[in-house]
Amino acid sequence: MGLGGTEMCMEKCRRCSSACVKNGIIKGGHRYRCKSCGRSHQSNYAYKACQGNINLWIIQLNRETCGIRSISRLLKISKTTVISRIKKLAEGIRKPLIFMGRSYEVDELKTCIRKKTKECWVCLAVEKATGQVVDISVGRRTKKTLGKVVETLKLSQAKKVYTDGLEIYKSLLPKEQHIVKPYQINKVERKNLQLRNSLKRLTRKTICYSKSRVMLEASVKLCLWG
Ligand SMILES: [Zn+2]
């Protein structure tokens, strides 16, 4: 039943899921306004990037070995929109909760930024019991990059930290906490393989290296936690 143009309908607000009222007519549909937060949305958008489920598609395609350009071509939205969405989505991701006193595996994965000579590393920490990635750090293979991950593990009072025995870890971790043994970092190595398989920029022999460290970090985060 209409009441002076404010007709209640089944449309739900995209921000707070409250009931909306019709608030105008557009080509092939309506514009709606939320009763509680006042935000407007439309039943359809001419511009594809505004459609409701586009972010979900970006997350899924990013994980299915699609680069920025392929996502842009498949979804028919611009490259700059894909890039800004990936950055924005990655910013909104929270690190998973970390429990006290567990054991972890730490390893790095090599890739390049822009060109073959500019190496960059993705450092991962994986919980030994569950295989869950608890922290990521991206940068050169230095104390600063690896230190970020190690610091998180130290704060969680990790019982044991298994690594491949790189010298940097020896200086970062106390001897009684640090363990170097063959076949003890299988979980994190598997995770590295999974990343190489699902992200185009990390595939071996790829010609699609990341152009910036920020984008590399964003797409890894989106792949693992998105
Ligand atoms: Zn609302």
How close is the Cα of 38 to the center of ligand 1, in Å? 6
Backbone angles phi, psi at 194, to 5 degrees: -60, -45
Tokens coding 20: 């909306």
- The Cα 63–Cα 196 span in angstroms is 10
Asked if the domains at 48-91 and 104-210 fall in one CATH topology, the answer is no
| Domain 104-210 homologous superfamily, CATH | Ribonuclease H-like superfamily/Ribonuclease H (3.30.420.10)
How close is the Cα of 4 to the center of ligand 1, in Å? 21
How close is the Cα of 22 to the center of ligand 1, in Å? 13
pLDDT higher than 60, residue 5: no
Sheet holding 29-34, edge to edge: 8-12, 19-26, 29-34, 40-42
Q: Which residues of 165-179 are buried (b: 16+ CB within 10 A; e: fewer)?
A: eeebbeebbeeebbb
How close is the Cα of 89 to the center of ligand 1, in Å? 20
pLDDT of residue 121: 94
How close is the Cα of 35 to the center of ligand 1, in Å? 7
More confident residue, 15 or 8: 15
How close is the Cα of 97 to the center of ligand 1, in Å? 29
Tokens coding 95: 């690190």
Stated pTM of the model: 0.84
> Which residue shows structure tokens 């996502």?
71
Start-to-end CA span in the chain (Å): 42
In CATH terms, 48-91 corresponds, of 3.30.70, 1.25.10, 1.10.287, 1.10.10, to 1.10.10
Q: Which whole-number Å values give the CA distances from 155 to 103, 123, 159, in the listed order?
A: 13, 17, 11
How close is the Cα of 33 to the center of ligand 1, in Å? 8
Could you tell me the residue ranges of all domains in the chain? Answer: 8-42, 48-91, 104-210
pLDDT higher than 50, residue 2: no
How close is the Cα of 162 to the center of ligand 1, in Å? 47
**Tens of pLDDT, residues 18-62:** 899 999 999 888 999 999 999 999 988 888 888 878 999 999 999
> Which residue shows structure tokens 């940068």?
139
Q: What is the DSSP letter of 25?
A: E
How close is the Cα of 31 to the center of ligand 1, in Å? 14
- The Cα 71–Cα 97 span in angstroms is 31
Rounded to the nearest angstrom, the gap between the alpha carbon of residue 85 and the centroid of all alpha carbons in its chain is 11
How close is the Cα of 17 to the center of ligand 1, in Å? 6
**Tens of pLDDT, residues 94-151:** 999 889 999 999 999 999 998 888 999 999 999 999 999 999 999 999 999 999 999 9
How close is the Cα of 80 to the center of ligand 1, in Å? 28
How close is the Cα of 81 to the center of ligand 1, in Å? 25
**Tens of pLDDT, residues 66-101:** 999 999 999 999 999 999 999 999 999 999 988 999
